[in-house]
Structure 1
Amino acid sequence: MPLHIAFTSPDSLRERCDITTVRTADTEPAYEPGAVIPAGPWHSVTDAAARALIPPTATQASTLVEIVRPPLPSHGRLDDLALPLGDAHAQYIGQALAKPDMTTTTDNHRDGRLIGLHLDNWDKLTYEHKPSGRRRLALNLGPGIRYIILATLDAQAVCRAVRPNDYAWRHPHTDDYRTHAAAGYTINVIRIRLVPGEGYIAPTEYLLHDGSTEGQEASAIAFWLGHWQSGKLPSLI
C-alpha cells in the first residue's frame, strides 16, 4: 500500500508539503555508497498528487501517516508521552539532534556517514508482515523547523520489483530501494514541515523515510514506537 496521509483539508496538506524524486548519492563523501537522497528541487504538491495521498476506507492504521501535536505530560517526562495513546507496551526510543541545513539526518553510528532515506527494522518483519509493524511517533523539540521525508512507494512494492523470484521470503530492506533507485526507476518523496511542538505518527518500517533540516536551524526530535489506532490524536491537517 503506497503512502497515505490522514487529512481533511487539501489546502492545509499542500501548504505543509513539497514533492520531488530521489537520486543516488554517488559523489557525496558524507553519505554511504548507494545512499538514496532527495534529488530536488522541491515542488508544490499538485491536486492530483494530493488526491493520491487520500487513505482508502480500508487503510490499516499501521500503514497510515498522521500529522499531530502530541500533548506533553503534566510532569514533563517525555518517556510517558505516548501512554495515553492506547498501547501499554509503547517504547520510548530517545532523542536525536540534527545539525542545521541537513538534506537528511540519520547517520551510521559505526562510521558517521549518512545513510540517506531508509527503512527501519526494529520489528524484523518479513514481506508478508511488513505492513503490520509498529509506527513511529515523533515530536519536534526545536528550536528549529524540521521535515519528515516519506516515499510514496511502499516496501512491499519495491521488494517485488527488485526481487521478483523470491520476494515472498524476503525481509524488505533499505538496500531494495537503493537497487531500485540505482536502476533508474522513479521514486517520489513527500516532505512534510513540522514546527516545534508538532510531530508525526508514521509507518517507518514500511515507507522509506528520514528527517531533514534543509534550509533550517538545528533541531532535536524525540521518538516512540507503538501500535496505535488512527485518530488517537487530532490531525493538524
Structure 2
Amino acid sequence: MATQIQQDLTGKVALITGAAAGIGRDIAETYAKAGAAIGVADINVAGAQETVDIITKAGGKAIVIDMDVRLEDAVNNGVKQLVDTFGGIDILVSNAGIQLIDPITKMTFENWKNLLATHLDGGFLTTKAAVEYMYKDNKGGTIIYIGSIHAHDASLFKAPYITAKHGLLGLCRAVAKEGAPYNVRSHMISPGFVKTAMVNDQIPLQAKEKGISEEAVVNDILLANTLNKEFTTIEDVSQTALFLAAFPTNVFTGQSINASHGWCMR
C-alpha cells in the first residue's frame, strides 16, 4: 500500500528559531495551523510576541522563548521552557541567521565570528539540546536546518555565510547518522533567494560594492542561475518544512531539499 502523506502535526511540539519574522514566522504559523504547539524562539522578543499573537488569535498554541542561539545557557533554558510548557519537543527548525556582504579583504574577523556563531553554533547548540529529549526512549523527532543554495554553491562577497551553510549541511548529515538509532531524522531546506528583509537589504549593498544598478543585482546576480528568473517564496519554504515534518517515514533523512527554481540540481 502506498504511503499516505498527511500534513498534520496535531499533538506535536515544535521549536523554531529566528521566528520573529520572515521565513521563521511563516513556518511557525504554518505548523500551528497544522496542529503543532510552537516555541517561537528569537533574540527579538517583541517580534516573537507578534508571531505568538498571530498564532493564538487564529486558535493555535504558542509561547515566546527569548533565545540567543549563540549562547548555550540561553538555548538549554529555552528548550527546557518549551518542554516544561508543552510536554516535549518533536520538531526543531534551526532557522536563525544573519547575512553580511563584504569581500574577504574587507570582512572583519569579528563579523566573521558572529555570523558563524549564529548559524553554526546556533545549529549545534539547539540540536544538542533538542536531541537530549528526542533520544529518550527512542521517542524520535525531526530536525530541519534552514540552509541555502549556498550550501552547494558560492557567490561573491558572502564568504562567512557560504562557509556557514556548507557547515550546516555537514551537521545535518552527521545528525542523520547519529540520530537514526533513536528515530531522529534530519533535513536541510536549501532555498534560492527569498524576498525577505535580509535579501532586500543586501540588494543595495551588492549594487554599491559592484558598481551596478539594483535591477542588475536582481536579474544578473540573485536570479541569474534560476531557470525562470523567479524568487523562491517564503511559502515555498514553509510548505516544504511542513512536508518534511509531517512525512510519515524517515526516507528523506540527511538530504538537502533544494527549493531554488532549478538553481543547483544536486
Structure number with greater CO (CA < 8 Å, separation at least 6) is: 1
Which structure dedicates a bigger proportion of its chain to helix?
Answer: 2
Larger Rg: 2
TM-score (norm 1): 0.29
Which structure dedicates a bigger proportion of its chain to strand?
Answer: 1
